[in-house]
Amino acid sequence: MTGQHSLPRTRHEHLLRQLELHGSVSAADIAVQLGVSQVTVRRDIVELENAGRLARVHGGAIALGAPSVAQPARANIGVVVPSSVSHFPQIVRGMDAASRGGRTRVVLATSQYREELEQRQVERLVDVGVAGIILAPTMRSRTEAELAEWVSSVPVPVVFLERRLESTALAVYDSARTDHSRGAQLAVEHLASLGHRAVGLALFDRTPTAPLVRDGHGAAVARLGLADAPYAGLPKGEEGESDSLDDALVAFLEACLGGGVTAAVVHTDVHAARLVELATDRGIHVPDDLAIVAYDDDTASLAMVPLTSVTAPGRDLGQEVLRIMTERIASPDRTATAARHITMLPRLTVRESCGAIV
């Protein structure tokens, strides 16, 4: 194809501009925007990754901040996360920021929540010579014993990310995660401080975060002596699930208001934003009729009513987990130094949806 979009420099500038605006891009979307093939876009992404301008992920790329003066890397560190969208890009950016100071290079791969792909990605990273693996494992069908058996065969240090792993066999590994249970407690405590005596809970329950949010919500309700309130498990709401999501959210909304419950914690912020829309369609006002705190803060500020949300310590967590890995690479014998289990506290970002801002 001819024309200005066929010029590599023009394509690269467009790609980097979209990354600056959105934080991540898909090769398919960029190909449509530029009128070129996905093969061409993927080749551009590889060139920009080699130049240190972005990180390549399955199906596209994510931004890693402004480029710095190149330095010889001491070690490549492999990172395997389930997804390149939503929760993990901020963590990866934190790793990237920390890697520059430590003269390390982050090599990113995604598992798409598929255990077999996760294992292949780790094998590939080991084959290309990474000195360690930071891993957010998929736990949909494997047990912790099965995970421990597999990880014990990985020939480089492994640090777990964003998972609460309970077994003794896994406790010997370093880990860093967000305290999602405490984050849910922050949300309930805030709503209780505004005078609400019951707080409903709606969860996207097919995620590793959901059980921790449920535990934290229950602990805060019991400690504060709040009344029982409706609970709803929510589907993802994509690819044919939008009707079932709306049905679940409407049923939750009706159960709350029908029972005199005027506050709710909703995971995720995408689900919470949809709940606001459905409430508005029914003449229900947020926060006057129902105060909402979203769990997650990826797009919460963009909702019809900007959402008060539990904000994870993404960049801080990424910097911390990379520091742990760098130290573990320097001392790979797990029996020589104690395993470190780091838990970081999220914060509450107050916006209009809870009624605290007039």
DSSP 3-58: SGGGSHHHHHHHHHHHHHHHSEEEHHHHHHHHTS-HHHHHHHHHHHHHTTSEEEET
Structure token digits, residue 145: 């014993």
pLDDT band at 110 (very low <50, low <70, confident <90, very high): very high
d(CA 97, CA 91): 10
Q: Cα dist. 114→38, 212, 266 in Å?
A: 24, 21, 26
Q: What is the DSSP letter of 131?
A: S
Residue 8: which CATH number? Answer: 1.10.10.10
Range of the domain at 245: 180-312+348-354
- Residue 1: per-residue pLDDT: 41
Residue 14 belongs to some domain of the structure: yes
Task: Quick: pLDDT tens for 34-89.
Answer: 889 989 998 998 898 888 888 887 778 887 754 444 444 468 999 999 987 778 98
Residue 267 belongs to some domain of the structure: yes
Q: Which of 14, 35, 63 is the last residue of a domain?
A: 63
Q: ω before 268 within 30° of 0 (cis)?
A: yes
Residue 49 belongs to some domain of the structure: yes
Q: Which of 23-27, 140-144, 174-178, 181-185 has the lowest mean pLDDT?
A: 23-27
d(CA 277, CA 286): 10
DSSP 68-129: ------SEEEEEEES-SSTTHHHHHHHHHHHHHHHTEEEEEEE-TT-HHHHHHHHHHHHHTT
Q: Which of 43, 63, 83 is the last residue of a domain?
A: 63
Selected residue with higher pLDDT from 50 and 260: 260
Residue 286: which CATH number? Answer: 3.40.50.2300
Across residues 110-124, what is the average pLDDT? 93
- Domains contained in the chain, number: 2
- Residue 65: per-residue pLDDT: 53
Triad 318, 78, 83: Cα angle to 5°: 65
pLDDT band at 135 (very low <50, low <70, confident <90, very high): very high
Q: Which of 63, 81, 105 is the last residue of a domain?
A: 63
Q: What is the mean pLDDT of the chain?
A: 89
Residue 160 belongs to some domain of the structure: no
pLDDT band at 265 (very low <50, low <70, confident <90, very high): very high
Task: Quick: pLDDT tens for 150-205.
Answer: 999 999 999 999 999 889 999 999 999 999 999 999 999 999 999 999 999 999 98
